[in-house]
Chain A
Amino acid sequence: MLLRRFGLTGTIFTFFFIAQEAVISQLSFPAGGFSLFLILTLIWAALSTPDVAAAVGFGAGILLDLSPSTNGPLGHWTLILVLMSYAIAFFSYGDENMRGNPLSIVLMVTLAQAIALASYLVTGFLLGVTATSFSQTLITIAGNALWTLVVTPLLLPVVVWLHDLTFDSRMRI
């Protein structure tokens, strides 16, 4: 059972990672665009228990760190996503008002995505990764948040369906 869940989750995340790298990264969106993979990870975490969310965040972070477009050290995104996934799952787990309301999930994912990006930039600065100007950073984070706000409602039903398929659960959102 565990192996099946692990295999399915890995396949889904790998597929979205390839889609992100091969398709989304090649399109130029205004104000920086969005990360499909990051949105998937955060929605998945919002639907999972905190320990599963942390494990998924770890795996997703490793994949993001291996992305050729990442300029930080390996483990950087891993650390951010472990903490962010755990946090989002911790706040939403057991709260049906939060989980049962798609708007809450959308807003939570958007907020988490903005915090994740900001944390990545701040820790990157501490680790010595070259950062852009403050204004550009703000534009990127705000642009990403806006795009996430647009994309998450579209992606949410798909991710919920995939999550149900993987964990044999039936969520009502």
Chain B
Amino acid sequence: MRNGGENRGRLLLVILIVSSLFLITLDLRGVNVLNGLRSGTQSALSPFQRAGNVVLTPVKNFVNDITHLGRTRNQIEDLRKQNQKLREQLISRKNQDGEIKQLKSILDLAGTARFKIVSAKVIAQGSSLAFTRAITIDAGRSSGIKKNMTVISGNGLVGVVKEVFTNSAIVMLATDPAFKVGVRIAGSQQIGILSGLGSSTANLQLLDNQTAIKVGDILLARGSVNAQPFVPGVPVGRVTSVSNAAGAVTQSATVKYLASFGSLGVVSVVVKAPKADPRDVLVPVKPVPTPIPTVTVFVTPSPSTSPSAPSN
């Protein structure tokens, strides 16, 4: 009996081993049914695996955080520092880009007029001393800057140097109510006096009442003796409105400054003016309007029935 049981057990073992070897042979011979079985198992298991993943993810994260507590904290700290550094670099880069753009336009302007300039960064903006509209620049006596020198930006006149220190200077802006500059109209060469109003606009008083002035005219600095405080030919502003009051002795106009006083980052001080007056070479080129395509539609009226005449 015992022998019979043992033999049955051995027979079962042999059958199972042979079955296993048979399966291995089938698989190695590339029977597709077996591959299908495996992919079927994977399909059946995937919902459980997804559920397991959902349940285990917080646990894994927690364990991971605990395991790498010190390292994670250091990593976060490093990344914070890196982030701060990159932000600073980005801000600095944006600032530098703006300054480069401004500097390029100043160099273009100064190069055209053959001005010898000293460029400087605006380090302070606001009222200083007795001036209500002034900026402080980071170049002074050591850079060859003297009092009453013209200060320009890429678009035109900014102001005039009023105070000079060793390494800085204070510039009175053209917007200052006390600021006055002799100007001429580009083209007609009529002269007048431009006075600051404390804003981005100024008031122009023409000396000749018979002069024709129109909106859009460009004003250029007339220039002073020895080019101080104003070098000739620097663009100043554009006429935005003209007032022809009856009985007025002189004509007046409102002028908008070409320089953008709200975004002054880099300015240049004209330390030496050219011997010859640049005349109108610095007049900004008028923007060419982009043609707007027009569409003409021809409509042919379709024959319509006329109201019928009343029948008798």
Residues of A within 8 A of B (CB): 18, 21-23, 26-28, 49-51, 54-55, 57-58, 61, 65-68, 73-76, 78-79, 82-83, 86, 127
| Any A CB within 8 A of the CB of B207 | no
Query: Considering residues A65, A75, A127, which has the most beta carbons from chain B within 10 angstroms of its beta carbon?
Result: A75
Q: Contact flags (1/0) for B1-31 with A, using CB distance below 8 Å? A: 0000000110011001101111111111000
| CB-CB nearest in chain A for B53 | A26
| Any A CB within 8 A of the CB of B37 | yes
Give the distance to chain B from A140, nearest Cβ to Cβ, in Å: 21
Asked if residues A55 and B17 are in contact (CB atoms below 8 Å), the reply is no
Would you give 5 A-B contacts (Cβ < 8 Å), ordered by A? Answer: A22-B48, A51-B9, A74-B26, A82-B17, A83-B17
Contact for A21 among B22, B23, B38, B48, CB less than 8 A: B48
B residues in contact with A57, CB < 8 Å: 16
Asked if residues B20 and A68 are in contact (CB atoms below 8 Å), the reply is no
Asked if residues B19 and A26 are in contact (CB atoms below 8 Å), the reply is no
Query: Considering residues B19, B25, B26, which has the most beta carbons from chain A within 10 angstroms of its beta carbon?
Result: B19
Give the distance to chain B from A70, nearest Cβ to Cβ, in Å: 8
Asked if residues A54 and B49 are in contact (CB atoms below 8 Å), the reply is no
A residues in contact with B304, CB < 8 Å: none
Asked if residues B38 and A74 are in contact (CB atoms below 8 Å), the reply is yes
B interface secondary structure, majority: helix
Asked if residues A76 and B52 are in contact (CB atoms below 8 Å), the reply is no
Asked if residues B45 and A82 are in contact (CB atoms below 8 Å), the reply is no
Asked if residues B49 and A127 are in contact (CB atoms below 8 Å), the reply is no
Give the distance to chain B from A127, nearest Cβ to Cβ, in Å: 7
Asked if residues B45 and A68 are in contact (CB atoms below 8 Å), the reply is yes
| Any A CB within 8 A of the CB of B124 | no
Give the distance to chain A from B41, nearest Cβ to Cβ, in Å: 4
| Any A CB within 8 A of the CB of B60 | yes
| CB-CB nearest in chain A for B25 | A75
| Any A CB within 8 A of the CB of B56 | yes
Asked if residues A76 and B12 are in contact (CB atoms below 8 Å), the reply is no
Asked if residues A68 and B41 are in contact (CB atoms below 8 Å), the reply is yes
| Any A CB within 8 A of the CB of B34 | yes
CA A58 – CA B12 in complex, angstroms? Answer: 11
Give the distance to chain B from A120, nearest Cβ to Cβ, in Å: 12
Kindly list the 9 A-B residue pairs having the minimum CB-CB distance in the complex, ordered from nearest.
Answer: A75-B23, A22-B52, A79-B20, A73-B27, A75-B24, A22-B48, A51-B9, A66-B41, A74-B27
CA A55 – CA B58 in complex, angstroms? Answer: 39
